[in-house]
Chains A and B, each alone.
Chain A
Amino acid sequence: AQSVTQLGSHVSVSEGALVLLRCNYSSSVPPYLFWYVQYPNQGLQLLLKYTTGATLVKGINGFEAEFKKSETSFHLTKPSAHMSDAAEYFCAVSDTGGTSYGKLTFGQGTILTVHP
């Protein structure tokens, strides 16, 4: 069974500061990994995803994440926070095959607050 743990349900940063949202996963097979962002009362928007190849993945809005197999981590970073980054962020994992049928297992979410 897969699982995702997001460390810290709330993260607060100053505008212009580094954003670091932590995600650890467990999977019995090589995973696909995702970060989604959800603004209040909105749906989920894909920020970035890791499938194969380069372990450093760049996404939209200046975010990036690095897949570290040895640490089973996929932390999300952004060098300089902007007020518009305030939202809830979800890390998710899916199997790469087998009988998982592409369904996603989500973490609990991290609410990012950006203050002036």
Chain B
Amino acid sequence: NAGVMQNPRHLVRRRGQEARLRCSPMKGHSHVYWYRQLPEEGLKFMVYLQKENIIDESGMPKERFSAEFPKEGPSILRIQQVVRGDSAAYFCASSPRELATEAFFGQGTRLTVV
């Protein structure tokens, strides 16, 4: 059973471009959480999704950021018109239920905006 797969592992984007981060949850997991780790900081919750539904996006910036988790395929975190301040590590975690006790984290995508 493969773990949570995130790709790409490293992503470099120029200011103004779009970044797409993908997260494939573990088999049988229908709950996905996205977190952002800014340099020198801990992880901050961004969004919680179940298949085809956004449940909680209270941690998402109001503009330029969006997330989806379609019926088929991975969860996508999309950042439009990236700025230098978006440079961070983005982690997703998946769980079979809405319990943090059963969540597993991916290796993360490290986004660098130049």
Task: Say whether A and B bind each other.
Answer: yes
Which chain B residues in 80-109 approach chain A with CB under 8 Å? 91, 93, 95, 97-101, 103-108
Q: Give A105's nearest chain B residue, CB to CB.
A: B45
Determine which of B56, B91, B104 lies in contact with A103 in the assembled complex, contact meaning CB atoms within 8 Å: B56
Instruction: Give the size range of B's interface with the partner.
Output: 20 to 34
Chain B residue with the shortest CB-CB distance to A88:
B42
Complex interface: chain A residues within 8 A of B55 (CB): 101
Does A34 lie at the interface of the complex (its beta carbon under 8 Å from any beta carbon of B)? yes
CB neighbours of B31 from chain A (8 A): 102
Residue pair B98, A102 in contact (C-beta under 8 Å): yes
Query: How far does the alpha carbon of A69 sit from the alpha carbon of B43 in the complex, in Å?
Result: 24
Q: Please, which residues of chain B bring their CB within 8 A of the CB of A49?
A: 101
Confirm or deny: B22 has a beta carbon within 8 angstroms of a beta carbon on chain A.
Answer: no
How many chain A residues touch B (Cβ–Cβ < 8 Å)? 23
- Given A101-B98, A102-B95, A109-B42, check contact A43 B103 (CB 8 Å): no
Query: How many Å from the CB of B105 to the closest CB on chain A?
Result: 4
Residues of A67-111 whose CB lies within 8 A of B: 90, 92, 94, 101-109
**Which A1-41 residues have a C-beta within 8 angstroms of B?**
32, 34, 36, 41
- Which residue in A36, A41, A44, A106 is a CB contact (below 8 Å) of B44? A106
In the complex, whether B41 has a CB less than 8 A from a CB of chain A is: yes
CB pair A104–B107 under 8 Å, yes or no, is no
Q: Is there an interface contact between A103 and B101, defined as CB atoms closer than 8 Å?
A: no
* Pairs across A and B, CB under 8 Å, 5 listed: A46-B104, A101-B55, A102-B101, A103-B33, A104-B43
Which B residues form the contact surface with A (CB < 8 A)?
Answer: 31, 33, 35, 41-45, 48, 55-56, 91, 93, 95, 97-101, 103-108, 110
